[in-house]
Structure 1
Amino acid sequence: MLTEVVQLVLNGLMAGTILAVPAIGFTAIYAVLRFPNFSVASQVTIGAFAGYVANVTFGLPAPVAVAFAFLVAGFSGLVCDEFVLRPMRPAGPLAAAIAAVALTIVLENVVRFWFGNDLRGYDLPVLRDWRFAGLRVSPQQLENGVIAIIAMACLFGFLAFSRMGKAMRAVADNPMLASIKGIDSVAVGRLVSFVGMGLAGLGGMLLGLDTSIDPLTGFRAILTVFAAAVVGGLGSIPGAVVGALTIGVAEELSLLVLDPAYRSAVGFVAILLVLTLRPRGILGERAF
């Protein structure tokens, strides 16, 4: 029993590490642009299929294909925000959020038109699980986790040390003061849309590497991504990481008492508990 629990916790930490990538993208966009951009779901799908094309059609190895997934999803997210969501933002966060949901439906159907509804898998070598102390670790899971950690480390380094990263943090903290200091909030908004959606696309491919992909990949993931952002503290990038790890472990441990078909309910329960007991999330205030 103990070995089973440890195995589930290990699986949850690996799943949470991957989940943290799109969750960071979602919460970064919320922190800077001040609305929940649910079109992250469509960019998760677009990134997953962009990586599929790079890996299967062009023969690129998975670690290289994830960079392609990031770029395609980032560019797609930037274009969609510029021409669809940005004109809606003056009407308020609710109108922008509704527009984001509608955009997600449109983009997922575009993907369905080009690729169909069939499940697709990446071109990966078949490797045996590594075993130690009664535990199993998939080499692909470990590789995905390393890629996710590298992506998060690059983002934290960008925010901490680059001029544009500091500008993003300033706009997230106080947009009016940032504007007075001469920071171009429009340019920062474009940058966060590119980076945030790029992370969503990268996360989408990482999710697909562990299973398979179809046009509803992002739709199935968005609740868990949103739950991770809310649990950690919506608008907090460190909170998104903490929330993702929490949700990942909670979903895996739920398999001890629930049928796998109900594991998605963990996200709903986590959101309800956090909004009831700690509305600002585990780490509280917005923090880049």
Structure 2
Amino acid sequence: MEALLQALVNGLLSGSLIAVPAVGFTAIFAILRYPSFAIAGYVSVGAFAGWWVNTRFGFGAPLALLAAFVAGGLTGLVCEQGLLRRLMPSGALTVAIASIAVNLVLENVLRFFFGNDLRGFDLPIRPDLILGGIFIGVQQLWNLLLAVVVVGAVFGFLMFTRFGRAMRAVADNPDLARLKGIDPSRIAAIAVMLGAGLAGAGGVLLGLDTSIDPMTGYRVLLSVFAAAVLGGLGSIPGAVVGALALGLAEELSLLVVPATYRTAVGFVAILLILTFRPRGLLGERAA
């Protein structure tokens, strides 16, 4: 029973880390209608931006998150709006393939400036909490709290601000939104900055949990994509649900299969969901 409870706790904590970049991924997809795998590069850029202000200026995790959000958002704006958008007339598949190339470029830029060594955030090390035989890292709890705050802020932005309502209108029907005076191009730029910024913030959360290097984003890309597909591409609540479900599934799988097969759980989950619910857990139904 303790092993099961420990797996559930670990799954919740790991899923919360994936939820932030997964929301960023699906926010970009909801507006631009193509899967941007450059999100992995934005994760790594944000991770290094947060690490730099933390180790250089001694900023804590909240300010490191803010720096990562800004760095990831600006990088995404340049890459998505300045480069990938020009390829959109060629189709979503072409843009998706090009986004992989953008990710590789960003990885190598980081490798050129920072090298390949693992980097850790400069934060105090605290002993794990033990509650009823369940081990919980103090930093993991802080990461969970930060992830909840970030995701909550995104939901608040989408529900209660003018730009958030405009984003939802464009995602639902860009032509109707244009007739109501909403500029889809401007909203697309905001969505890209939001999505890429969330990916950058997710990079810091991942770095706080372990360490970072130029391939930090690449290593979680499949999990982020799986979470978005599980929840339903284009559904921000679905991305959160999908990330938590994926985290729980991966941790629970360790109770019955070796750790080397953990990544395969995400692929199995994608196959099952696409077979029985092609639109994902919370995705829109086909018309």
| Partner Cα separation in structure 2 for residue 182 and residue 191 of structure 1 | 16
Matches within 5 A, 1:105-116: 105-116=104-115
| Partner Cα separation in structure 2 for residue 62 and residue 21 of structure 1 | 15
CA offsets 1:113-154 (integer angstroms, 9 cap, x no match): 111111111111010011111111111001011111101111
Q: Counterpart of 1:223 in structure 2: which amino acid? A: L
| Partner Cα separation in structure 1 for residue 178 and residue 89 of structure 2 | 17
Q: Counterpart of 1:193 in structure 2: which amino acid? A: V
| Secondary structure at the counterpart of residue 56 of structure 1 | helix
Partner residue, 1:169: 168
| Partner Cα separation in structure 1 for residue 203 and residue 87 of structure 2 | 26
| Superposition TM-score, scaled by structure 1 size | 0.97
Higher mean displacement: 37-46 or 80-89? 80-89
Partner residue, 2:64: 65
| Partner Cα separation in structure 2 for residue 117 and residue 161 of structure 1 | 42
Partner residue, 2:86: 87
Partner residue, 1:49: 48
Matches within 5 A, 1:76-155: 76-155=75-154
CA offsets 1:38-85 (integer angstroms, 9 cap, x no match): 100000010111111011112111221111111111111111112111
| Partner Cα separation in structure 1 for residue 21 and residue 197 of structure 2 | 9
| Partner Cα separation in structure 1 for residue 212 and residue 103 of structure 2 | 16
Q: Counterpart of 1:270 in structure 2: which amino acid? A: A
What displacement does 1:256 show? 1.0
| Partner Cα separation in structure 2 for residue 258 and residue 46 of structure 1 | 34
Kept in 1: contact 2:234–2:283 (CA 8 A): no
| Secondary structure at the counterpart of residue 27 of structure 1 | helix
- Unpaired segments of 5 or more residues in structure 2? none
Aligned-residue identity in percent: 58
| Partner Cα separation in structure 1 for residue 96 and residue 52 of structure 2 | 30
Q: Counterpart of 1:122 in structure 2: which amino acid? A: F
| Partner Cα separation in structure 2 for residue 204 and residue 262 of structure 1 | 24
Partner residue, 1:257: 256
Matches within 5 A, 1:236-247: 236-247=235-246
| Partner Cα separation in structure 2 for residue 152 and residue 7 of structure 1 | 24
| Superposition TM-score, scaled by structure 2 size | 0.98
Partner residue, 1:275: 274
| Partner Cα separation in structure 2 for residue 127 and residue 245 of structure 1 | 25
Partner residue, 1:201: 200
Q: Counterpart of 1:230 in structure 2: which amino acid? A: V
Partner residue, 2:16: 17
What displacement does 1:276 show? 1.1
| Partner Cα separation in structure 1 for residue 185 and residue 217 of structure 2 | 27
| Secondary structure at the counterpart of residue 83 of structure 2 | helix
Matches within 5 A, 1:188-227: 188-227=187-226
- Unpaired segments of 5 or more residues in structure 1? none
Q: Counterpart of 1:266 in structure 2: which amino acid? A: V
| Partner Cα separation in structure 2 for residue 82 and residue 237 of structure 1 | 21
| Partner Cα separation in structure 2 for residue 254 and residue 150 of structure 1 | 28
CA offsets 1:168-209 (integer angstroms, 9 cap, x no match): 000000111001111000000000000000000100110111
Partner residue, 2:35: 36
| Partner Cα separation in structure 1 for residue 22 and residue 272 of structure 2 | 19
| Partner Cα separation in structure 1 for residue 261 and residue 215 of structure 2 | 18
